[in-house]
Chain A
């Protein structure tokens, strides 16, 4: 178990120049001992690179990795005592399930009795007990990935367990079950867990804190609530939530916010906005409210589409040439009809403003 501090940048090219040359732009990140973290971001955002740097499979081209204050930048995974589970099942074909699970322990010279007990425990937890003596090669992808997970969890004294999209190949139903198991493991063993995924639901349900990444940058680290209510970067607003945040170009105009030629207000963060002058207004579909017709500071827009999401209505409204605004309305309310004009209250406690994609505070 260890506190992990990263202060690094990584490029696979020898002489990085533009931002695109960097797999990871300079970042600073600290992972608490015993915390459950998720690295969330789209494909190619650098999350697997980051994971491999933490585990020691990759040495960062710049900066350092520290475990409990010790510099381990050049230490091997074994020296760092890291366990890692990969996206696709990695099993040792010629071994039985039990031998697969025992492999990391055997390589470290753990006494046979201790190995047997530990393998039994892990197999019990992952429901592999019935298959312990079977050859691992003949099993289904689900079972193979469970073996991979088991090998990651079998050592109790690890600094951290890293998961690289481990549930990609697994059935949705089993996914929930395994994720619950992982949370349970986390609670019981108090291991530091780092979980890489591009699935926000997976990240938000698994982790205590989520690191959102895009294009080689870690743009925000926070709890599910923070990411939802106060995205510090417009990418977070866009990526988290379904659908993501509404963004509209806006400008400051004498105490009001002007959006699509309409004045919105009243405004609380006046000074910062007055300074920014031109900025982007971001509001989640869940935070857009309907206002009475003619309400001052509300934005009138014609409804384009109403979708029934089962538990709520998803209403899309857009004027001629203006950005569409999506909002989620409770089922109890009567849904507005397409073509009807609705008055939208975009400003509220959870409305955010962005300048150059960064939150204005």
Chain B
């Protein structure tokens, strides 16, 4: 029989404590709130899954969820192709490459709320460059008045803010393709399109996966920029999930439903993470197997 050494438990104790205090216990507090109706700190009633049921039935939440999914999808549909295109256009070497890299990365260095403020001013039809220019051109544009305009502005703002991330990832991916591939393509008489389709795109698969994951997660949790720009309006046009949650928890102080919704939100993100992570793992292991051979 193998001797069993119980001391190992002692050694992992610090980690257990760390994780407990930083993640598990705070989460449990939320779980605690989600199953109780807290009337005052002294008076609380256990309500079971009632909050969950009511949150799940909440029409506002449904529309916020659909809005959120639509937004994230739009973000991916615009930012991924645009990022690839940008990376393809960026110079590969020399001082130009460095200069372009800095310029492209600039928007990534700006804090979220500043981005919101920049666009808030930029889009104003009285003093903003974009708003005023559009007004001069006779376009009836107002991100505070029109739901479509607000939605488009938030989307364009996100594209402006985050496409460079996709571009930088793709740029790195493109640089790691050995020259021999391009030489072989020239020898094989491949067109520019074929080079993209059969060499660059397949080789970018890994970084694109990361880009998709990052952009999906980030856009799914977007809060600050639309909060600063539109405050979720007009109406509910740009109220995304996290903003809805803040309204519930901080605005109305409905801790029970907010906690229940937090958990659901968390589970949605966890689920999507899980799906994407597994997808990436599968592709990654396929590539690793390939790497072992090649």
Interface residues of A (CB under 8 A from B): 52, 55, 57, 76-78, 82-84, 86-90, 92-95, 103-104, 107-108, 137-141, 144, 148, 151-152
CB–CB A107/B190 < 8 A: yes
Question: Which residues of chain A are within 8 angstroms of B184 by Cβ–Cβ distance?
Answer: 84, 86, 90, 148, 151
Of B178, B188, B202, which one neighbours A103 at CB under 8 angstroms? B188
Given A90-B180, A92-B199, A94-B198, A107 and B293 contact (CB-CB distance below 8 Å): no
Question: Quick one: closest B residue to A81, CB to CB?
Answer: B189
B82-117 contacts to A, CB under 8 A, are: none
CB–CB A57/B294 < 8 A: no
CB–CB A107/B202 < 8 A: no
Question: Which residues of chain B are within 8 angstroms of A141 by Cβ–Cβ distance?
Answer: 293-294
CB–CB A95/B180 < 8 A: no
Inter-chain CA distance A138–B283, complex, in Å, is 12
Indicate the size class of the contact surface on chain B. Answer: 20 to 34
Interface residues of B (CB under 8 A from A): 178, 180-181, 183-184, 186-191, 194, 198-199, 202-203, 286, 289-290, 293-294
Inter-chain CA distance A95–B286, complex, in Å, is 15
CB–CB B186/A94 < 8 A: no
Kindly provide the distance from the CB of A341 to the nearest chain B CB, expressed in whole angstroms: 56
Question: Which residues of chain A are within 8 angstroms of B183 by Cβ–Cβ distance?
Answer: 52, 57, 84, 86, 90
Inter-chain CA distance A94–B199, complex, in Å, is 9
Kindly provide the distance from the CB of A192 to the nearest chain B CB, expressed in whole angstroms: 15
Question: Which residues of chain A are within 8 angstroms of B194 by Cβ–Cβ distance?
Answer: 107
Closest 10 CB pairs of A and B: A107-B189, A90-B184, A104-B188, A93-B202, A92-B198, A86-B180, A84-B187, A78-B189, A140-B293, A94-B202
Inter-chain CA distance A139–B289, complex, in Å, is 9
- Please name 13 further chain A to chain B contacts, defined as beta carbons within 8 Å, in addition to the given A107-B189, A108-B189, A148-B184, sorted by A numbering: A52-B183, A55-B187, A78-B187, A84-B183, A86-B180, A90-B181, A93-B290, A94-B198, A107-B191, A137-B290, A138-B293, A144-B293, A144-B294
Inter-chain CA distance A82–B189, complex, in Å, is 10
Kindly provide the distance from the CB of A101 to the nearest chain B CB, expressed in whole angstroms: 11
CB–CB B202/A92 < 8 A: yes
Inter-chain CA distance A94–B289, complex, in Å, is 15
CB–CB A78/B186 < 8 A: yes
Given A77-B186, A93-B203, A138 and B290 contact (CB-CB distance below 8 Å): yes
CB–CB B186/A88 < 8 A: no
